[in-house]
Amino acid sequence: ILTIYIRYRHIAELIRNNPTCGKIYAQLNLMFLICGNIAAFSMSVISNFPHIDVYFIRIFATYITFIASVAALHCEMLLSFWIRPLLYSSRLLPTIRTIITIICTIALVIL
């Protein structure tokens, strides 16, 4: 959760210091924070219920983790393309994030 919050604050500072960005980036950043925290919390639920008696809770938390993680990946991918001119000189990192996001989205649709 701490890593997600640090990433959120980092992007928030970039948004605050860059007057050309719109409100959409701040909303996307907040959505990333919410989805990341939901994914982290549901992973905590998975790890705290290891018994077979609560199988359905574990399965439900697994699906929530995966859905929230894919949503956070989408937010991160879009923010990476916006940040690229500010922080990165190459398109390698946003491209890798796009490929990972596409793979995870396809896996989510298949499941």
- What is the tens place of the pLDDT at every residue in 5-21? 999 998 888 888 887 77
- At 67-93, the pLDDT tens digits run 999 999 999 888 888 877 666 667 788
Query: Is the alpha carbon torsion for 65, 67, 71, 74 positive or negative?
Result: positive
Number of domains forming the structure of the chain: 1
- At 18-61, the pLDDT tens digits run 877 778 888 999 999 999 999 999 999 988 888 878 889 889 99
State pTM to two decimals.
0.84
Amino acid at 83: I
Length of the chain in terms of residues written: 111
Helices (H) and strands (E) in the chain, counts: 4, 0
Q: Which domain holds residue 49?
A: 2-110
